[in-house]
Structure formats: C-alpha cells, structure tokens
A and B are shown apart, each in its own frame.
Chain A
C-alpha cells in the first residue's frame, strides 16, 4: 500500500488532472485504488461525476472508520473508488486544530483503508496549512507538478523549507514538469537547469487541449482518449513513479 499526495502550493498547475489520470492508470493495473479529493472545490469529484454525499463533511472525514467507508463511491471504472470532497473542507484546519495530535490525524484516519486499497491518491488543495502538514506526514510520496517558470520554482523552494521546518526533509518529494509548452524557450531552459536534480522525474506532461477539455467530457483523458499524446504522457509518468516507489 502506498499513499501518493499530489500537491503544490500554487494552484492551476495541473494537480487535479494528474491525480485523476494517475488514479485511473493505477486502477488499470490490478491495484485497487482510492482517490481522495481533499480540495473543497471538488474538481476531481466533478471529473468523475460524483457528488458529495449529503451527510458527509469535515467532521466525518476526521472521525474516520465507518464514517469514511460509508461515503466512498465507486467510479465508472472497476477498481477505482473515490471519496468525494465536500465544501466544508474549506474550514478543515479549524477542525483539525481541535483534534489530538492534530498534525498526524489524517494519517491515522487513512490507516484502516490500507486493508482494502493497494494505493491511495490524494488530490490536495493549493496552500500550506495544518492540512498540508497532515498530508505530508501521511504520504509515502509527495508528487509535485511544477510549471517550468520562476514563480513555480519559488513555490517549490517554499515547500522544501516547510518540510525542513517540520523535520521531514525532501526525500518524499517527487517533481514532474506540468503544462509544458515546447515552443516556450523559458520552459526548456528551466527544465534543463533543474532536470538533473534528485527527485525530478523525466516524464513531463504537456500543455494540452485534450487535458483542458476533461472538464467537458468528465473522464480521465487516459480513459476517454487512450491513444492521445496526453494519455501517453500520463502513462510514462505513472511508470516512472511506480519505479521510484518500488526502490
């Protein structure tokens, strides 16, 4: 069992697209997978056409156990389930703060799910909060999509600093370049200067209309357009992540 958190402090970097597609690819390989939509906006839930159950929210999430299990929904794809997000997650930090051992609560809540699922993928909201800290503790791998621009790198530095501060270090972090535009010189240069560093994956996700249109057809691009270059890019990314997780 492994927990992969797809995370970046910055928004709009392709986190949800990556979570949705990687979760789908994971389930296609005989690995029972759970996608946890942690973002109150609920974009991942939207992509899978799953609405938040009426009586589900922050409180139930943090209680865990049956409260989570009863609210897990099957997606359209065998082997892939999801826990949809709820709008109440926007105040999750306040609720977390009231918990005992508030920075490790999420890990504890996810623990029993290990029995049923081979992999859990977390689609995280873009900020640096008590919830993020929880996620960092719980995850085996923090997967950070990065657009090859200066501001994105700055955000990455902030993440590393924060991880040092809470004493986790950067070993868990895997970085991949997202929304890459080939014709942009800056993208190419940024990728070249960073590409050789530890924890940077070789597979990149291009900026692609097929991925943007996921909001319209509401399926993972790897399922809707399995032959597309975007789908192939996610597949390469997934293989590389798996190789890293095994070692």
Chain B
C-alpha cells in the first residue's frame, strides 16, 4: 500500500531556514510552529532491542518519547522515570508506553546512549483550501560534546498529495537542498562518540570464518570473538544493570570451554589444559548468582503455580533469595575485579595472538575439515544417546543427552559460516526443539534440587517456617508434575531430529569426501 515516507537532506551551510521558507511561500501557505529546543538522551537495551524493531526512544528529564526511526512518527509520548544509569520497563507508570516497552525489552533494561541537542521548527505546507499537503521539519541535531552540528530538512508526505510533494522537492532542489542524510544522524554520531554503533552487540554467536584459514587461525578468531563478548558484558555485570549481562557472560565462557574440549590438537596441549581449568573456575564463580537470577526472574510464574493460600510463604522465600542474590552479586563483582581473574583474560588474549612455539598436530589443517570432523562426531553421539531416550530414561541420561546437544549446537554455531546457510538453519532449528525440551526438563530438576536443599537447611522453631515449608512443598509438587509431563514428549522431540532426512542432511554436509581427504593428507605431509 502506498505510504509516503520521510525524506531527509542536509541543509546547505549558506542557506538560512527563512530563505527556504520564503521560497516555499511562492506556491504554498506555510504554518510555522514555534521553535523547539531540547537536549534529549537516547536510550535502548544493550542489545538494541528497540532499534531492532525500528523504534527510537529518548527522554528529556522525565518526558519519554517513543517513535519510529524511519518515518519519525511518534508512537507514544509519556512521563516516566528519570534515566540515571539504567531503568527497566517496570519502572514506568502503567500506561501505553509501559505496555509497549515491556514485551520489547523483556528482561533487559534501558541504558542511556547519546545525549543529543535537538532544535528546530515544524512546518505545515498548505494548499489554497489551507489543507495540509505535507509536513516539514527543519532541525539541528548536535551530539553533546561534539563540535559538529547537523542541519537537516525532513519532508513528511501526506497520502493523496503526491503532486504537491513533487513540487516541494523541486523547490528544495532549487534552493540547493540536494544531499540526502540519515534522519538519525545525530543519534548515530552520538553513539559513535560513546564508542557504540547501532546493532554492535547481539547475544547470538555470529562470526564469518574464512574458508581458506587454518584450524588454528579460525579457532583463534572464534575464541577471540567469545573473549570480546566476555569483556563487553563484564561492566554490566559489575553494575548490575540487568540479569542478561551475567547470562551472556556465562554463555560466552561456556562456549569457550566447550570449544576447548571439542576442538583438540589445534592449540598446544598445555594452553588448552591451562585455560580449560581457568575458564572452568570463572564459570563456576558466576553460577550461584545466575541460579538465583533464574528463580527471581520466574517469581510471578512460581507464585501462579500455587493456590493463593500458599503464596505468602513463597514471598518469604523470594525475599530471602533477593537478599542472597545481593550477597552473591557482591562476591561475584569482587571476583571479577580481582587482578588474578583479569590477568587470565589478558593471558588468554595473548595466547591467541602469539605464535605457538610447538604447533599442535592439527593446527595447520583447513578449518572446514576440522569443522566437518567435529560436527559429525558430535552428531553421532547425539543420535546414539537420543535413540536410547524414552519416557522412562533416568535423569542422569537425560542430562547427558542435554550436554551432548549443547556441544553439537556450539560446534554448529562455531563453523556455521563455512556451510550452506539454509541447511544449517534447518539443523539448528530441529536441534533447538530438542534442546528446549531437555533444557526445560533440566531446569525443573535443578529447581527441585534447590528447593530440597532449602528445606533441608531450614531451622526448626521459627514462626514463619511452617508457611514457607508449605509453599516450598507445594511448589515442588507442581515442578515435579510438569517434569513428569515433559518426559512424555521426549520421543516426539527427538523424532524430528533423528529422522532419516535430518540424519542424511548431516552426512551430506559433513561427511569427508574423497577430495577433502586428499587435501588433508597433503597438509599433514607438509
């Protein structure tokens, strides 16, 4: 459907807005609104959740405006919290803005991005009936702390008045308004000044590997990408902005550890040994806080599992968890700041960059061959264990399959850029379905175990304990039931992944062909 969007140009240096207006009055009536000026602070989640959906959000004190980046159309303007450090969707008063932000941001908080000074005027262009046929904004955008100011003209068309808009464009061009600009230039430049670029962070692992690189070169890039990810998430963990920083940090550590155990004989053995140990230790440092986060994030869902009479008891439990989280978070922050742990990351970076004195046996093979070999091996494991899975499998076997799946998933992600995109997506999709069920099953196990430990450690005699005990008991029952229910889905979840078609796809993509073998043999001889 035809919907004229906005066009944006730079206002030439010599051209004053008034001169432009008077040129337009030859053909149009002009309704120029009073000038506005404000310094706004743009805000988004660390992983650009609003920007991804085409939204921009800025605040001016307590006044928040959410609008569409492309059209500049305001979606909602409303009061909200003052943005100091960070704020969450739930900090907004109930209303439209909060309703929009909550699903978009989910668990992520808003962080301040660039402060930008905006000043300008809105103009309505009118025909002889004084009907608005187009809107125009003449605006100066100046990122704070930067010398440059961007002077822009934006034209917003109105449906059904194409002819008039053509005329307006013509007049603009005559006035020398020709160079098109990004309407978000102030925002973009402001972000750059802070060292950020829109969409410069995503929790997904994305890396384009070079087909021609060796296993050693490629793995160094994989690890370096993960290390960057670790480093970028640490500030957010230390500041406690939202729980996703810790989550992403943990995932990056886990991926690194997985890499170290999956990919053998590419890095020197002593390097692998040392950093497997170190990252294992870092991973376990972050565990307790994350476990508590998982609980706290599910607070509402847990409360809903219980009959109203038992809920107050659970609230006691959550209040307790909240306090414990604070303590754990402090410990974690101290550990992450510790020189020893910082030094591990620096040493890892150095190990990746430097030349190995004694290259490992497989360091020189082509990366594609390495990827094939590892993925195929992982796949066989998952298929073997998966076929054995049924509704009666003991928890330990379910757990083992879950870990196998995780390893396969990471292997697929590390090397995915080397193989056909669509096929990889299909495989990952099937695998993800299986992982979701196994992951859900495991979460329920972990949660029950935690409840069991909490119950065990409860001291007798306190007045609030009966209430708490009853609530925890009720919750355990509900978790157990759901877990049993999940078991009945095991076979179904595996069927898609294990069907002949998917298996064939795996073989087709990752089997060593004659050509590959010959090539690898050649490498080994060198």
A residues adjacent to B (C-beta < 8 A): 30, 48-51, 53, 69-74, 76, 78, 81, 115-116, 218
Q: A116 near B160 (CB under 8 angstroms)?
A: no
B residues adjacent to A (C-beta < 8 A): 1-2, 73, 75-76, 96, 124, 129-132, 158-161
CA distance A30 to B78 in the complex (A): 14
CA distance A62 to B96 in the complex (A): 38
Q: A74 near B2 (CB under 8 angstroms)?
A: no
New contact pairs (20) apart from A69-B1, A71-B160, A73-B159, CB-CB < 8 Å: A30-B75, A48-B131, A49-B131, A50-B131, A50-B160, A53-B160, A72-B159, A72-B160, A73-B160, A74-B158, A74-B159, A74-B160, A74-B161, A76-B124, A76-B132, A78-B73, A81-B159, A81-B160, A116-B1, A218-B130
Given the complex, which residues of A lie within 8 Å of B129, measured CB to CB?
A: 49-51
Given the complex, which residues of A lie within 8 Å of B159, measured CB to CB?
A: 72-74, 81
Main secondary structure of the interface of B (DSSP, over half): loop
Q: How far is the CB of A68 from chain B (nearest CB, A)?
A: 11
Given the complex, which residues of B lie within 8 Å of A72, measured CB to CB?
A: 159-160
Given the complex, which residues of B lie within 8 Å of A30, measured CB to CB?
A: 75-76, 96
Given the complex, which residues of B lie within 8 Å of A53, measured CB to CB?
A: 160
Given the complex, which residues of B lie within 8 Å of A48, measured CB to CB?
A: 131
Which A-chain residue is minimally distant from B3 (CB atoms)?
Answer: A116
CA distance A115 to B3 in the complex (A): 14
Provide 29 A-B residue pairs closer than 8 Å at the C-beta atoms, listed in order of the A residue.
A30-B75, A30-B76, A48-B131, A49-B129, A49-B130, A49-B131, A50-B129, A50-B131, A50-B160, A51-B129, A53-B160, A71-B160, A72-B159, A72-B160, A73-B158, A73-B159, A73-B160, A73-B161, A74-B158, A74-B159, A74-B160, A74-B161, A76-B124, A76-B131, A76-B132, A81-B159, A81-B160, A115-B1, A218-B130
Closest 6 CB pairs of A and B: A73-B160, A49-B131, A74-B158, A74-B159, A49-B129, A76-B132
Given the complex, which residues of A lie within 8 Å of B130, measured CB to CB?
A: 49, 218
CA distance A73 to B132 in the complex (A): 11
Given the complex, which residues of B lie within 8 Å of A51, measured CB to CB?
A: 129
Q: How far is the CB of A127 from chain B (nearest CB, A)?
A: 28
Given the complex, which residues of B lie within 8 Å of A70, measured CB to CB?
A: 2
Given the complex, which residues of A lie within 8 Å of B75, measured CB to CB?
A: 30
Q: How far is the CB of A188 from chain B (nearest CB, A)?
A: 39
CA distance A6 to B431 in the complex (A): 55
CA distance A1 to B496 in the complex (A): 39
CA distance A71 to B161 in the complex (A): 10
Which B-chain residue is minimally distant from A46 (CB atoms)?
Answer: B129
Most chain A CB inside 10 Å of its own CB: which residue of B76, B96, B130, B160: B160
Given the complex, which residues of A lie within 8 Å of B1, measured CB to CB?
A: 69, 115-116
Q: How far is the CB of A239 from chain B (nearest CB, A)?
A: 16
Q: How far is the CB of B363 from chain A (nearest CB, A)?
A: 58
Which B-chain residue is minimally distant from A76 (CB atoms)?
Answer: B132
Which B-chain residue is minimally distant from A81 (CB atoms)?
Answer: B159
Q: How far is the CB of A56 from chain B (nearest CB, A)?
A: 10
Q: B2 near A69 (CB under 8 angstroms)?
A: yes
Which B-chain residue is minimally distant from A70 (CB atoms)?
Answer: B2
CA distance A50 to B129 in the complex (A): 8
Given the complex, which residues of B lie within 8 Å of A49, measured CB to CB?
A: 129-131
CA distance A81 to B132 in the complex (A): 12
Given the complex, which residues of B lie within 8 Å of A76, measured CB to CB?
A: 124, 131-132
CA distance A48 to B1 in the complex (A): 22
Which A-chain residue is minimally distant from B100 (CB atoms)?
Answer: A30
Given the complex, which residues of B lie within 8 Å of A71, measured CB to CB?
A: 160
CA distance A76 to B130 in the complex (A): 10
Q: How far is the CB of B127 from chain A (nearest CB, A)?
A: 8
CA distance A51 to B73 in the complex (A): 26
CA distance A115 to B129 in the complex (A): 31
Q: How far is the CB of B2 from chain A (nearest CB, A)?
A: 7
Given the complex, which residues of A lie within 8 Å of B131, measured CB to CB?
A: 48-50, 76
Q: How far is the CB of A123 from chain B (nearest CB, A)?
A: 18
Q: How far is the CB of A178 from chain B (nearest CB, A)?
A: 27
Q: How far is the CB of A69 from chain B (nearest CB, A)?
A: 6
Q: How far is the CB of B117 from chain A (nearest CB, A)?
A: 25
Q: How far is the CB of B275 from chain A (nearest CB, A)?
A: 53
CA distance A48 to B159 in the complex (A): 14
Which A-chain residue is minimally distant from B73 (CB atoms)?
Answer: A78
Q: How far is the CB of A240 from chain B (nearest CB, A)?
A: 21
Which B-chain residue is minimally distant from A77 (CB atoms)?
Answer: B132
Given the complex, which residues of A lie within 8 Å of B158, measured CB to CB?
A: 73-74
Which A-chain residue is minimally distant from B130 (CB atoms)?
Answer: A49
Which B-chain residue is minimally distant from A116 (CB atoms)?
Answer: B1
Which B-chain residue is minimally distant from A71 (CB atoms)?
Answer: B160
CA distance A116 to B131 in the complex (A): 23
Most chain A CB inside 10 Å of its own CB: which residue of B73, B124, B159: B159
Q: How far is the CB of B405 from chain A (nearest CB, A)?
A: 41
Which B-chain residue is minimally distant from A48 (CB atoms)?
Answer: B131
CA distance A49 to B2 in the complex (A): 21
CA distance A69 to B2 in the complex (A): 8
Given the complex, which residues of B lie within 8 Å of A115, measured CB to CB?
A: 1
Given the complex, which residues of A lie within 8 Å of B73, measured CB to CB?
A: 78
Which B-chain residue is minimally distant from A79 (CB atoms)?
Answer: B73
CA distance A201 to B73 in the complex (A): 35
Which A-chain residue is minimally distant from B134 (CB atoms)?
Answer: A74
CA distance A115 to B96 in the complex (A): 23
Most chain A CB inside 10 Å of its own CB: which residue of B1, B75, B161: B1
Which A-chain residue is minimally distant from B31 (CB atoms)?
Answer: A76
CA distance A53 to B161 in the complex (A): 10
Given the complex, which residues of A lie within 8 Å of B161, measured CB to CB?
A: 73-74
Q: How far is the CB of B164 from chain A (nearest CB, A)?
A: 11
Q: How far is the CB of B137 from chain A (nearest CB, A)?
A: 14
Which A-chain residue is minimally distant from B124 (CB atoms)?
Answer: A76
Which B-chain residue is minimally distant from A50 (CB atoms)?
Answer: B131
CA distance A48 to B158 in the complex (A): 13
Given the complex, which residues of B lie within 8 Å of A73, measured CB to CB?
A: 158-161
Q: How far is the CB of B280 from chain A (nearest CB, A)?
A: 51
Q: How far is the CB of A125 from chain B (nearest CB, A)?
A: 23
Q: How far is the CB of B90 from chain A (nearest CB, A)?
A: 22
Given the complex, which residues of B lie within 8 Å of A78, measured CB to CB?
A: 73
Given the complex, which residues of B lie within 8 Å of A50, measured CB to CB?
A: 129, 131, 160
Q: How far is the CB of B323 from chain A (nearest CB, A)?
A: 41
Q: How far is the CB of A146 from chain B (nearest CB, A)?
A: 32
Given the complex, which residues of A lie within 8 Å of B2, measured CB to CB?
A: 69-70
CA distance A71 to B76 in the complex (A): 29
Q: How far is the CB of B3 from chain A (nearest CB, A)?
A: 9
Q: How far is the CB of B295 from chain A (nearest CB, A)?
A: 36
Most chain B CB inside 10 Å of its own CB: which residue of A30, A48, A49, A116: A49
CA distance A73 to B73 in the complex (A): 18
Given the complex, which residues of A lie within 8 Å of B124, measured CB to CB?
A: 76
Given the complex, which residues of A lie within 8 Å of B160, measured CB to CB?
A: 50, 53, 71-74, 81
